[in-house]
Chains A and B, each alone.
Chain A
């Protein structure tokens, strides 16, 4: 079914550049003690270490979902990702409409013509959900059997991980058994206990998923019969992209202008201040709305320039990141300017100036490295607000493309169905739970990063994105 080779969408490229720069930062940070120290402090917090595992898991899903291939399956998607291939059974076995989690029968009745010619209304069997069962009464036993199998699989991998960690810690604690006890008791230098606990929870869920998802629609199906678990997993990439790319896109502008304003002062400062005051005085939601509206017009005028549906949705996602970046850019710029204003009066900068070092060199060698912690903190703090903002913006039709899987789109499509009797709750709950887990992990991690890198930095900058998310929903 894969016809062409790799397809690199624009957002894929951005994501991989992002990961590459994160890796580059990591290799640099490893070699410098002043960069390693705050990270050690972050890792020393059990909650932050656990949150990092969750974040890592989500990022891994996003990365697997960012390796795209082209297909000749023109009936459906024209581009599939590695994740699609891994979830082949979820993707290619749709039902016709709603079905509840673990259901064997559809949610609503359909008219069936019986062999003797009479018309009968009944709940039809699902095409794939529980299709392997001879009689639906076997379902509870079948689910229990598979669940136990899945949990066992998860537990086994959790135990393996514990063993691996114990091997690493063997030297320090004298023997495997002692190391195991130390890990379980939480007495190790590295936060193995929280890492393993969260890892184990993920492994258990994965085990359940592997054991059950191919046979049932674990989280039900949506209006057009797509598996909800599949949708929720696909949405991870959208959420991660918006949360990280937005800050990444606006970073160069904020850095260049903020540092320049703080260092050169005078007219440069006035111009930059004017620019960000003007931009930030436009309410964020409205600026995004205006830009999204214009993008729509532009796209409908130039519909022929997009060679695939995925490319179009992808461009819209990137544009959304860019627009969100413009609205969040100003607060970071303001923080950087203030910090540079302070830094330029420090003795080593004065010494460099007295020795005749040129301005670009001073900025690069003395100022940039010293404002990087602000960039780091802002990036991490903004992440969760942006993920939440996506859902709110998508609801008012100025978010991601409707054809793209995202939690906002899932909520948007499902919210009216709560009024049904019985309520169709699964899409909504799945999207909200996935979003909650990601945002919670991001918040916990961000708190640790902020405290480690700058305990005294006031959260003035961080308020802006939180405001955006709230402004859209409510203050």
Chain B
């Protein structure tokens, strides 16, 4: 088990390096630091000195891959690529192009993001599993057909519709909750209810359909026939045997969502003015702040890799047949 873990972690390393190379190429080679400086300082009336100063402040004045000016070993290490890579890998995110401390911002904004994402994930999972179980139980009935129609319709509606419609109806017309905003502590609940419900609704349609397929597939297995033959009731087979076995593919889908837990829901956060990581990323995009976007890309892929690892581990918990070697 621990040998497996170590091997997987070692396997993750080249992928992280690969991600870093891609982001580096995107952010420093396709667009040079000069371009970034011009973008930040204003496109036109900008002097070369101002650009140089901007670059020096951020350490962007080093050569990209090979420092001819340095001596010995430093020729390879005192470069923009190595420097920025080492800093990212040690979680030293430095300052944003706008001058803010990225690490501090991240810590501060993680809370609101999680306050939305975790309830959404759990509620959505419970709702979708429950719904899918019921229609898998009543498969072929009118309810099944009707719910298939509802699911396709729900999938076809843009997520923006749920958000805008929900805000308009619940917050503006009925005045049940504030339209947008955020508060810390218990006071945050009234701000969170609507985004959480909407977030759940958006993911419901496709997930119910997907879970239903998994359940039906599982119900065609031998052990189900065996359990029936033993005289177990339909409900018991479904809710105990099938559910447990179907959890394996479902877990894969859930754990892969971990990065989005952390990154938050970009659009929902922006619409509801919640100071989380999603709106942080959007603000950075609109301000064209490369340092923040690069950090978020790195963190996102890191979490994805961790998510994959957790998926494998969760198999062991859910399925005793799986042995990791």
What residues make up the interface of A, taking CB atoms closer than 8 Å to B?
A: 274, 277-283, 285-287, 289-294, 296-298, 300-301, 384, 388, 391-392, 395-398, 407, 411, 415, 418-419, 423, 428, 432, 435-436, 439-440, 443-444, 447, 458-459, 463, 466-467, 469-475
Contact with A along B240-277 (1 / 0, CB 8 A): 00000000000001001101110101111010000000
> Does B133 have its Cβ within 8 Å of any Cβ on chain A?
no
Nearest first, the 6 A-B pairs at minimum CB distance are A473-B159, A278-B18, A283-B300, A474-B265, A474-B199, A440-B156
The residues of B that contact A285 with a CB separation of less than 8 Å are 263, 266
Would you mind naming 17 contact pairs between A and B with Cβ atoms under 8 Å apart? A283-B259, A283-B297, A286-B297, A291-B26, A293-B288, A296-B288, A297-B288, A300-B39, A396-B270, A444-B152, A467-B256, A472-B266, A473-B268, A474-B195, A474-B265, A474-B268, A475-B260
The complex places the Cα of A471 from the Cα of B296 at a distance, in Å, of 14
The residues of B that contact A291 with a CB separation of less than 8 Å are 26
The complex places the Cα of A385 from the Cα of B281 at a distance, in Å, of 22
The residues of A that contact B36 with a CB separation of less than 8 Å are 297
**A411 and B155 within 8 A (CB):** no
Which residues between 209 and 255 of chain B lie within 8 Å of chain A, taking CB atoms?
Answer: 210, 213, 253
Contact with A along B1-29 (1 / 0, CB 8 A): 00000000000001100110011001100
The complex places the Cα of A397 from the Cα of B287 at a distance, in Å, of 11
The residues of A that contact B270 with a CB separation of less than 8 Å are 395-396
The residues of A that contact B160 with a CB separation of less than 8 Å are 391-392, 395, 411, 415, 432, 473
Given contacts A283-B301, A473-B268, contact A466 B206 (CB under 8 A): yes
Q: A459 touches which one: B161, B210, B260 (CB < 8 A)?
A: B210
What residues make up the interface of B, taking CB atoms closer than 8 Å to A?
A: 14-15, 18-19, 22-23, 26-27, 30-31, 35-36, 39, 43, 117, 120-121, 124, 152-153, 155-164, 167-168, 172, 195, 198-199, 202-203, 206, 210, 213, 253, 256-257, 259-261, 263, 265-268, 270, 281-282, 285-286, 288, 290, 293-294, 296-297, 300-301, 304-305, 308
**A443 and B156 within 8 A (CB):** yes
The complex places the Cα of A39 from the Cα of B31 at a distance, in Å, of 47
The residues of A that contact B121 with a CB separation of less than 8 Å are 475
Which partner residue on chain A sits nearest B289 by CB separation? A293
Q: A300 touches which one: B43, B161, B260 (CB < 8 A)?
A: B43
The complex places the Cα of A423 from the Cα of B124 at a distance, in Å, of 32
Given contacts A281-B19, A286-B263, A472-B159, list 5 more A-B pairs with CB under 8 A.
A274-B14, A282-B19, A282-B297, A458-B213, A475-B261
Which partner residue on chain B sits nearest A296 by CB separation? B288
**B304 and A294 within 8 A (CB):** no
The residues of B that contact A473 with a CB separation of less than 8 Å are 159-160, 162-163, 202, 265-268
Given contacts A282-B22, A396-B282, A439-B156, contact A474 B198 (CB under 8 A): yes
**A475 and B301 within 8 A (CB):** no
**B260 and A274 within 8 A (CB):** no
A272 to chain B, nearest CB (A): 13
Given contacts A290-B27, A298-B31, A473-B268, contact A396 B206 (CB under 8 A): no
The residues of A that contact B288 with a CB separation of less than 8 Å are 293, 296-297
**B152 and A277 within 8 A (CB):** no
The complex places the Cα of A111 from the Cα of B8 at a distance, in Å, of 71
The complex places the Cα of A395 from the Cα of B269 at a distance, in Å, of 12
Which partner residue on chain A sits nearest B165 by CB separation? A432
**A384 and B156 within 8 A (CB):** yes
Which partner residue on chain B sits nearest A466 by CB separation? B206
Q: A289 touches which one: B156, B163, B172, B293 (CB < 8 A)?
A: B293
The complex places the Cα of A443 from the Cα of B203 at a distance, in Å, of 16
The complex places the Cα of A80 from the Cα of B261 at a distance, in Å, of 45
**A290 and B152 within 8 A (CB):** no
A207 to chain B, nearest CB (A): 26
The residues of A that contact B263 with a CB separation of less than 8 Å are 283, 285-286
The complex places the Cα of A407 from the Cα of B22 at a distance, in Å, of 32
The residues of B that contact A407 with a CB separation of less than 8 Å are 158
B143 to chain A, nearest CB (A): 19
The complex places the Cα of A392 from the Cα of B161 at a distance, in Å, of 10
B145 to chain A, nearest CB (A): 12
Given contacts A466-B206, A475-B260, A475-B265, contact A289 B153 (CB under 8 A): no
Q: B23 touches which one: A290, A463, A470 (CB < 8 A)?
A: A290
Given contacts A274-B14, A398-B285, A418-B172, contact A470 B159 (CB under 8 A): yes
Which partner residue on chain B sits nearest A428 by CB separation? B164
Given contacts A297-B31, A475-B199, A475-B260, contact A388 B158 (CB under 8 A): yes
Which partner residue on chain A sits nearest B209 by CB separation? A459
B294 to chain A, nearest CB (A): 8
**B23 and A391 within 8 A (CB):** no
The complex places the Cα of A290 from the Cα of B36 at a distance, in Å, of 13
The complex places the Cα of A459 from the Cα of B15 at a distance, in Å, of 26
The complex places the Cα of A277 from the Cα of B198 at a distance, in Å, of 31
**B22 and A436 within 8 A (CB):** no
The residues of A that contact B202 with a CB separation of less than 8 Å are 470, 473-475
A466 to chain B, nearest CB (A): 5
**B158 and A435 within 8 A (CB):** yes
The complex places the Cα of A281 from the Cα of B147 at a distance, in Å, of 34
A106 to chain B, nearest CB (A): 23
**B300 and A282 within 8 A (CB):** yes
Which partner residue on chain A sits nearest B214 by CB separation? A458
The residues of B that contact A280 with a CB separation of less than 8 Å are 304
**B164 and A418 within 8 A (CB):** yes
Given contacts A396-B282, A473-B202, A475-B260, contact A290 B210 (CB under 8 A): no
B121 to chain A, nearest CB (A): 7
The residues of B that contact A470 with a CB separation of less than 8 Å are 159, 202-203, 206
The complex places the Cα of A475 from the Cα of B195 at a distance, in Å, of 11
**B296 and A286 within 8 A (CB):** yes
- Residue among B120, B198, B296 with the most chain A CB within 10 A? B296
Q: B26 touches which one: A290, A411, A435, A469 (CB < 8 A)?
A: A290
The residues of A that contact B164 with a CB separation of less than 8 Å are 411, 415, 418, 428
**A396 and B266 within 8 A (CB):** yes
